[in-house]
Amino acid sequence: MYELLIENIRSKVAISEAEEEQLKKYFIPKKYRKRQYLLNGGDICKYFSFVVDGLIRSFTVDDKGHEHVVQFAAEGWWVSDMGSFLEETEAMYHIEAIEDVEVLNLTKPAMEEMLNELPVMERYFRILMQKNIVTLQQRVVADHSLTAEEKYLRLMEIYPKLIHRAPQQQVASYLGITPETLSRIRKQVAEKGD
Amino acid sequence: MYELLIENIRSKVAISEAEEEQLKKYFIPKKYRKRQYLLNGGDICKYFSFVVDGLIRSFTVDDKGHEHVVQFAAEGWWVSDMGSFLEETEAMYHIEAIEDVEVLNLTKPAMEEMLNELPVMERYFRILMQKNIVTLQQRVVADHSLTAEEKYLRLMEIYPKLIHRAPQQQVASYLGITPETLSRIRKQVAEKGD
DNA sequence: CGCGGGTTTGATGATGCTCAAGCCCGGTGG
DNA sequence: CCACCGGGCTTGAGCATCATCAAACCCGCG
**pLDDT tens per residue across span B4-57:** 999 999 999 999 999 999 999 999 999 999 999 999 999 999 999 999 999 999
Q: Which nucleotide is nearest to B190 (CA to C1')?
A: D10
CA distance B11 to B21: 17
Query: Does residue B22 lie in a domain region?
Result: yes
Query: Does residue A99 lie in a domain region?
Result: yes
Alpha helices in chain B (DSSP H): 3-10, 17-23, 82-87, 108-117, 119-145, 148-158, 162-165, 168-175, 179-193
Q: Using 50, 70 and 90 to split pLDDT, how confident is the model at B191?
A: confident
Query: Does residue A56 lie in a domain region?
Result: yes
Residue B49: give the domain boundaries: 3-118
Average pLDDT over chain B reads 95
Residues with CB under 7 A from strand D: A 64, 66, 147-149, 176-178, 180-181; B 167-169, 179-180, 182-184, 186-187
pLDDT of residue B190: 87
Closest CA to A39 of A1, A90, A75: A90
CA distance A178 to A185: 11
With 0-12 / 13-18 / 19 or more C-beta atoms within 10 angstroms meaning exposed / middle / buried, residue A169 is middle
* Residues of B whose CB is below 8 A from A115: 123
pLDDT of residue B187: 94
What is the pTM for the complete model shown? 0.94
In B82-113, which positions are buried (b, 16+ CB within 10 angstroms) versus exposed (e)?
bbbbbeeeebbbbbbbbeebbbbbbeeebbee
CA distance A85 to B139: 19
- State, as a whole number of angstroms, the distance between the CA of B190 and the C1' of C19: 26
Q: Using 50, 70 and 90 to split pLDDT, how confident is the model at B1?
A: confident
- Mutation target for B interface from A93, A111, A137, A155: give the one with most B CBs within 10 A: A137
Give the CATH number for residue A72: 2.60.120.10
The DSSP output letter for A44 is B
CB B72 within 8 A of CB B80: no
CB contact under 8 A, B140 and A145: no
- State, as a whole number of angstroms, the distance between the CA of A140 and the C1' of C15: 20
CB B163 within 8 A of CB B91: no
Q: Which nucleotide is nearest to A187 (CA to C1')?
A: C8
Residue of chain A with shortest Cα separation from B173:
A144
* Residues of B whose CB is below 8 A from A59: none
Write the CA distances from A165 to A80, A181, B178, integer angstroms.
Answer: 20, 19, 35
* Residues of A whose CB is below 8 A from B115: 123
pLDDT of residue A193: 63
In B40-54, which positions are buried (b, 16+ CB within 10 angstroms) versus exposed (e)?
ebeeebbbbbbbbeb
pLDDT of residue A194: 58
Query: Does residue A144 lie in a domain region?
Result: no
Average pLDDT over chain A reads 95
Closest CA to A96 of A150, A20, A173: A173
Is B165's pLDDT higher than 80?
A: yes
- Asked if A135 is an interface residue toward chain B (Cβ–Cβ < 8 A), one would say no
Please tell me which residue lies nearest to nucleotide C7, judged from CA to C1': A183
Query: Does residue B180 lie in a domain region?
Result: no
CB A85 within 8 A of CB A45: yes
pLDDT of residue A1: 84
CB contact under 8 A, A70 and B133: no
- Asked if B83 is an interface residue toward chain A (Cβ–Cβ < 8 A), one would say yes
Is B194's pLDDT higher than 80?
A: no
Give me the number of domains chain A comprises: 1
CB A118 within 8 A of CB A23: yes
pLDDT of residue B64: 87
Fill in the amino acid letter for B134: V
- Asked if B66 is an interface residue toward chain A (Cβ–Cβ < 8 A), one would say yes
Query: Does residue B85 lie in a domain region?
Result: yes
* Residues of A whose CB is below 8 A from B60: 141, 145
Query: Does residue B168 lie in a domain region?
Result: no
| Residues lower than pLDDT 50 in chain A | none
Beta-strand runs (E) in chain A: 28-32, 37-39, 47-53, 56-61, 67-73, 78-79, 94-97, 101-107
- Asked if B116 is an interface residue toward chain A (Cβ–Cβ < 8 A), one would say no
Please tell me which residue lies nearest to nucleotide D10, judged from CA to C1': B183
CB contact under 8 A, A70 and B119: no
Closest CA to A69 of A149, A148, A181, A169: A169
Nearest beta carbon to residue A122 from set B86, B122, B140: B122
pLDDT of residue B193: 63
pLDDT of residue A25: 95
**How, if at all, do strands B101-107 and A94-97 pair?**
unpaired
CB B149 within 8 A of CB B193: no
Query: Does residue A123 lie in a domain region?
Result: no
Pairs of CB atoms within 8 A across A/B: 85
- Asked if B90 is an interface residue toward chain A (Cβ–Cβ < 8 A), one would say no
CB A168 within 8 A of CB A179: yes
